[in-house]
Amino acid sequence: MRLDKFLCELNVGTRSQVKAYLKQGLVTVNGSVVKKPDEKVNESSDTVTFKGRLLKYQPFVYYMLNKPKGVVSATQDNTCKTVLDLIESDRKKNLFPVGRLDKDTEGLLLITNDGELAHNMLSPKKHVDKTYLVGIAHDLKSDDIQALEKGVDIGEDKLTLPAKVKVLSEKEILLTIHEGKFHQVKRMLQAVSNEVVALKRVTFGALTLDDNLKTGEYRELTLEEIGELHADGY
């Protein structure tokens, strides 16, 4: 891999910034200062430092995004802004959202280039928990809660898997589901004669939406969060 590409992929700077750093002699490869951007490095075995700090190449990147309404969960779209349009990174080329949130749904979305992890998290066999903060048209009766927690008919071959319901107020609940069917939360509430008026995902597997992330903002996952994802078998 070219040295300038290596440095950009590790977010040392933009391509022009990296070239300036190289000219200043701030980068070493295997202990020697290298100033040529096109110098070839082996990302697995060569030792690269920037300002004396060891740089470790990571083939995968992971971002937590607080998705806003009106943005589609896709890599590209001819008419609407996509979640990738919100990501500013030199490593955007192979990024994609893990699963999807409806255009009018907010909240936690994982963006990565780790195809294996994405496949495992979306596998129906894994039954990965997803918790939503749901604004509803009117309060849920006890029979409604029991129905949701047992499984309801949303027009599929089988009832939904048992969900978990936590009532926060007359018009707001936390709903945890283990599937990812089309418009599932909306269809589940319709099945108990209610309606979703606001929807925000707050957990996805081992991930919990960072309270410090404003709508439309994102951050890289911490090493601990990445470790928890892989520890869960994803």
Domain spans, the chain: 3-55, 62-124+209-231, 130-204
Catalytic residue chosen out of the listed positions 77, 90, 102, 129: 102
CATH number of 130-204: 3.30.70.1560
Q: Would the pLDDT of 178 be above 70?
A: yes
User: Average of pLDDT values for 59-64?
Assistant: 91
Task: Tell me what the mean pLDDT of segment 104-120 comes to.
Answer: 95
Q: Is the pLDDT of residue 234 over 70?
A: no
Residue for token pair 């022009």: 16
Cα(24)–Cα(118) distance, rounded to whole angstroms?
A: 40
Interval 115-137 mean pLDDT: 93
Check residue 91 and give its pLDDT: 62
d(CA 179, CA 125): 9
**CATH class of the region 62-124+209-231:** alpha beta
Does position 233 have pLDDT exceeding 70, yes or no? no
Per DSSP, the three-state class of 149 is helix
Active site residue 102: yes
Query: Does the pLDDT value for residue 92 go beyond 90?
Result: no
Q: What is the per-residue pLDDT for 31?
A: 95
Rounded average pLDDT over 188-203 = 98
Q: Give yes or no on whether 3-55 and 62-124+209-231 have one common fold.
A: no
Average pLDDT of every residue of the chain: 93
The Cα–Cα gap between 80 and 141 comes to 38
The residues near 58 (Cβ < 8 Å, ≥ 6 apart) are: 10
Whether the pLDDT of residue 11 is over 80: the answer is no
Q: What global pTM score does this model have?
A: 0.79
The fold of 3-55 is 3.10.290
